[in-house]
Chains A and B, each alone.
Chain A
């Protein structure tokens, strides 16, 4: 198809012998080819994966427990570097006694190396170790430890959160996070 030209001049009698339009080449049958579709698919793959949320932060929940106590951990299963999230450890005392008050939560040091660790609530007594005070557990069957994390080093980071108690066996909850670059 000849391309239309923007033209405002009126052709004079002197130029009537010449063609009205500037020179052009005849058009061809235009169609899409399979390689065009393949190229679009290849380029659009990443945006499509992102659009369905597969590259967003995903929170996972892991639990471990005994008849009298349950530890529930919310942690990022996957997260992008520079993104922030909260790792939450919740210790529930099923006996409604003061058992939770004496719990000690130890965060895996190897796991935390993949993150910039922000505020830890309640305040840790040592690096990655939080002791739940009797005040924190007063009047509540469960206590909570919140750790603000900002993903830093991409790759897989894993470890075990360990909850020890004055009575009974310690509980461990394995966690695993993939940090996107």
Chain B
């Protein structure tokens, strides 16, 4: 029983911590975030099962964690309000070619990152962007002004 409570508390603590940290942090795995991800299990590993080093305790801990993950996922899927609490909501970074400075500051997204995404989408300037969104998974999505721009692969034999 002790292990179940420990795992549940740590799960809740990490979930709240990551939520406070913000969307952007784990969307791009910089060396800093990588170190953070590696350190978290190191710090909590001893707290998870306490002095119990048996395999049974490990199995109980893993099963508890997986149950919590599944329950969270089911609740977030079934009830969008829960999803909003857990994941947050996408943030508008730019609209109609204009950056939204307030949201960018809040989410800690620099214009340089927007520029990088523009190039990834094959766009040249911000004016071509209808919407720039910071998704809940930390990635940036661009919606061009003139609809979707399908990727064309040039080949020697062009198919009409």
**Residues of B near any A CB (own CB < 8 A):** 1, 3-4, 52-57, 59-60, 63-64, 66-67, 70-71, 74, 77-78, 80, 84, 88-92, 95-96, 98, 100, 102-103, 106, 130-131, 133, 143
Interface size, A (range): 35 or more
The main secondary structure of chain A at its interface with chain B is loop
A1-B80, A5-B89, A47-B67 given. 11 additional CB < 8 A pairs? A5-B92, A7-B100, A22-B90, A30-B77, A44-B63, A46-B63, A80-B52, A80-B56, A81-B55, A180-B54, A181-B54
Let me know if A45 and B63 touch, CB within 8 A. Answer: yes
In the complex, the 5 A-B pairs of residues with the closest C-beta atoms, listed nearest first: A181-B55, A46-B63, A80-B54, A6-B91, A43-B67
Let me know if A4 and B56 touch, CB within 8 A. Answer: no
Let me know if B96 and A50 touch, CB within 8 A. Answer: no
Query: How many whole Å from A8's CB to the nearest CB in chain B?
Result: 4
Query: How many whole Å from B46's CB to the nearest CB in chain A?
Result: 15
Query: How many whole Å from A170's CB to the nearest CB in chain B?
Result: 36
Contacts of B103 in A (CB 8 A): 6-9
A80 to B100, CA, bound (A): 58
Q: A22-B90, A47-B60 are in contact. Are A40 and B71 (CB under 8 A)?
A: yes
Q: Does A116 contact B (CB under 8 A)?
A: no
Among B56, B67, B77, B78, the residue within 8 A (CB) of A44 is B67
A80 to B1, CA, bound (A): 14
- The stretch of A31-39, A104-112, A136-144 in contact with B is A31-39
Among B53, B56, B63, B100, the residue within 8 A (CB) of A8 is B100
Let me know if A51 and B4 touch, CB within 8 A. Answer: yes
Closest chain B residue, CB of each to CB of A24: B90
Q: A1-B80, A22-B92 are in contact. Are A53 and B1 (CB under 8 A)?
A: yes
Among A15, A39, A81, the residue within 8 A (CB) of B54 is A81
Contacts of B67 in A (CB 8 A): 40, 43-44, 47
Interface members, chain A 55-86 (any B CB < 8 Å):
55, 80-83
A46 to B88, CA, bound (A): 32
A95 to B113, CA, bound (A): 90
